[in-house]
Amino acid sequence: MKSLLLLLLVVAVVMLGLLFSMENTTLVSLNVLVAELPEQRLSTWVILSFFVGGLCGMLSASFVLIRLQASRLRLLRNVKRASPERQA
């Protein structure tokens, strides 16, 4: 049941993406301070910006998760070291 819902969600997102791409065919150029990128369809720039934003979000979240994991392991080591001392 869960996989069927996931499949329906993926199909809906793909269909909405295709509809968005077909409706936004206006050519626009993008100026990014130091360069002007060639003209592309508006839908291409929007989808690309969402993709890059998602990658940046995952990258920043992974740095936070790595720091939390290191902190957790350090605390576990400290607890293991402290446990024999408390029992004695």
What pLDDT, on a 0 to 100 scale, did the predictor assign at position 87?
A: 61
User: pLDDT of the chain along its 88 residues, tens only?
Assistant: 888 999 999 999 999 989 998 998 899 998 988 999 999 999 999 999 999 999 999 999 999 999 999 999 999 999 888 877 666 5
What pLDDT, on a 0 to 100 scale, did the predictor assign at position 86?
A: 64
How far is Cα 12 from Cα 17, in angstroms, rounded to an integer?
9
Could you tell me if 25 and 44 are in contact, meaning their C-beta atoms sit under 8 angstroms apart?
no
How far is Cα 47 from Cα 55, in angstroms, rounded to an integer?
12
Please list the alpha-helical segments (H only) found in 1-88: 2-23, 42-87
The string of DSSP letters for 48-64 reads: HHHHHHHHHHHHHHHHH
- How many CB atoms within 10 Å of residue 69? 10
Q: What are residue 75's phi and psi, to 5 degrees?
A: -65, -40
What pLDDT, on a 0 to 100 scale, did the predictor assign at position 69?
A: 96
